Chain A
Amino acid sequence: MSLQDSFLEIREVRSWFPMRKSLFSNKETQYVKAVDGVSLSLVKGEVLGLVGESGCGKTTLSRAIMQLIRPTSGKIILEGKDLTLLPEKELRAMRPNFQMIFQDPFASLNPRLTVFDTLSEAIRVRHKLRGDELKAAVGQLMIKVGLSAIQMNKYPHEFSGGQRQRIAIARALAPEPKLIIADEPVSALDVSIQSQVLNLLKELIQSMGLTMIFISHDLSVVKYMADRIAVMYLGKIVELGEAIEVMANPVHAYTQALISAIPTLDPKSERSRKRIVLQGDPPSPIDPPKGCSFASRSWISHSPKDAKLDGVFMEVKPGHFVEVHPATVENHRRYLPDSKFETQ
């Protein structure tokens, strides 16, 4: 893929947060390395699923892309413009182009604003409409997300969780964005409502030609929504590829564990099935272990000396990238001879 066709290009993004030690300590400042060198690129109209456990940095990454926090280093290029270099004023003018849908529809809507207030504010970012025209635009937007225009003078508390998430989606769509980041948009919803909202998102992506980063910890949802999947672990992308390919042939041990944790609806196979159960918790991002950060939880046998080596992020099949390391990939020599690994 050449640079020209990529719609959103994320290059080596790092987001580190300094930790305050004591006032008089002259120790070196430690950093929480929430996002530590992520590169991704999206073409227009693509849906990228971002998967990982809580604390792996997926939300921080999305906030860095949205410029809600300025990343420590790296570039975020949207349609040829590097957002990290733009001054605040120009960035503000760009903001309608990228919008966000949050996880909790109970917390993300202002309880004191009616649906009309919330949506009209978002519409006026782009179009200076007033009076009846504005009302009509709000009505259309509500119909688009499956609500009825009569409900525009109601307050958020008068709606159910699923309806509220529809309002949040409408608000994100109002400034006519090109890129939407949806951060766990259905995790707070009931099963029967979840599928309604997923259907709506899918429809909107197709009809409006949206590009989307869909964040979730639920691989079965991501598999359904996304064209490509990126798996994140402790601030880094460890596997990236076509959704179907990653789900069918996961290479990284962590992806394999995530997929094996998806429960099925078949009690018979479920009872006999051997799940890959990961040991322990992910290491702390404050002082991540040298070398491979997954080694301490991996079930693939490797020598303690190997664990200190750095993994190599490489293309194992066309379009399928994996962080290859003795502890993360079984038979890693298939892809890389040992001499390629560098010791830290």
Chain B
Amino acid sequence: MSLLNVENLATYFDTRQGTVRAVDGVSLSLEKGETLGIVGESGSGKSVTCYSLLRLIPEPPGRIVSGTAIFDGADLLQMKKRDLNQIRARKISMIFQDPMTSLNPYIRIGDQLIEPLLIHKICNKAQARERALEMMNAVGISDPIKRYSLYPHEFSGGMRQRIMIAMALITKPELLIADEPTTALDVTVQAQILELIRKMQKELGMAVILITHDLGVISGFCDRVSVMYSGTVVEAGTADDIFYRAQHAYTRGLKKSIPSTQEKGSKLYTIPGSPPQPIGPKPVCAFAPRSDLNFTEEEARMKAQFLEVQPGHWVEVHPASVENYKEYLK
């Protein structure tokens, strides 16, 4: 049985401009110890998906409209807040994008680190301190005893992100959700942090969901990848499926528009237009206005279907998104 199984999750936000369908029918599943990458541009709903799982969405204006998220046999979306608190930071931990703002500047690093252990009454303060020092060592912070009583501003960005990782992993969770953990960091530090997450994953045998907009980060790191566009998953499969056999025009476009894949001097490939605002009635295919495939008006009205084109490789098939759609759509 899978560790986490999300079915048809939808999270809407009520705004003055109308209802924003931030997440609109997302399904994911994750095995124990597996790494799932969620790729998409800003506004594609990748962060909202993960925030919804831990019910971290501010309600109102947000609301989870439908869906189930079965973790260890219980539905995260339906359970009582009290039960959910037993899971948060104990079985599921999260790392946020910006290490500068996600630590409390008034509280010493050590006290923030041991907070999850004390809240969940896993051990007493002395034991917690021991474990925190161990953890700081494991994430590569030298001189942990001295640094334990420092404040966040005395740490560099890379070190703060290490602290965030140590804090997320101190309870030995079964699932780690990392929301763009390296975006705010330098390239060289980025490599260190990814290496660290991978090392910790091996040691603890936990599953990881890695959210990012950078396909490059995903390629070597994830077992499976889901590509999100405008609140839905448009393509999902193994890393090899996505990088060698991508079917959806958006996935292909994303890959083609990365400068390192292009000849110097040539014009960069671009996906025309910009991502849509998911307000108003749901279009049959959100990508159609930006697609460079040829399709007739009649074809444009067809309903897109999320189909398994190869075992384990799912694609949202529509004339505007898949070139040989006729093979899949009846």
- A and B co-occur in one complex: yes
Contact residues of A with B, CB < 8 Å? Answer: 53-54, 160, 162-163, 190-196, 198-199, 202, 217-221, 223-224, 243-244, 257-258, 260-268, 270-271, 273, 275, 277-278, 280-281
Which residues from A are CB-within-8-Å of B275? 190, 192
Which residues from B are CB-within-8-Å of A262? 187, 216, 260
Contact residues of B with A, CB < 8 Å? Answer: 41-42, 142, 156-159, 186-192, 195, 213-217, 219-221, 239-240, 243-244, 253-255, 257-262, 264, 267-271, 274-275
Which residues from A are CB-within-8-Å of B158? 281
Complex-state Cα separation, A217 to B195, whole angstroms: 20
Taking A263-B214, A267-B240 as given, write out 10 further A-B residue pairs in contact, using a Cβ cutoff of 8 Å, ordered by the A residue number.
A191-B257, A192-B41, A192-B257, A195-B270, A223-B259, A265-B255, A267-B244, A270-B221, A277-B188, A277-B191
* Majority secondary structure, A binding face: helix
Known A-B contacts A263-B219, A267-B220; A191 and B262 likewise in contact (beta carbons under 8 Å): no
Q: List 15 A-B contacts (CB under 8 A).
A: A191-B258, A192-B257, A217-B186, A219-B187, A223-B260, A223-B264, A263-B217, A264-B260, A266-B243, A267-B243, A273-B220, A277-B188, A277-B192, A277-B195, A280-B142
Listed residue (B157, B254, B270) with the most chain A CB atoms within 10 angstroms of its CB: B270
Contacting pair A268 B274 (CB below 8 A): no
Distance in angstroms from A161 CB to nearest chain B CB is: 8
- Out of B186, B254, B261, name the residue touching A192 (CB < 8 Å): B254
Contacting pair B260 A195 (CB below 8 A): no
Contacting pair B214 A268 (CB below 8 A): no
Contacting pair A221 B255 (CB below 8 A): no
Contacting pair B264 A220 (CB below 8 A): no
Which residues from B are CB-within-8-Å of A257? 188
Complex-state Cα separation, A277 to B191, whole angstroms: 6
Contacting pair B41 A190 (CB below 8 A): yes
Contacting pair A195 B268 (CB below 8 A): yes
Known A-B contacts A224-B264, A263-B219; A53 and B269 likewise in contact (beta carbons under 8 Å): no
Known A-B contacts A195-B268, A265-B255; A275 and B195 likewise in contact (beta carbons under 8 Å): yes
Complex-state Cα separation, A257 to B187, whole angstroms: 9
- Out of B190, B220, B259, name the residue touching A195 (CB < 8 Å): B259
Known A-B contacts A54-B186, A224-B259, A265-B258; A199 and B41 likewise in contact (beta carbons under 8 Å): no
Distance in angstroms from B279 CB to nearest chain A CB is: 14
Complex-state Cα separation, A46 to B275, whole angstroms: 34
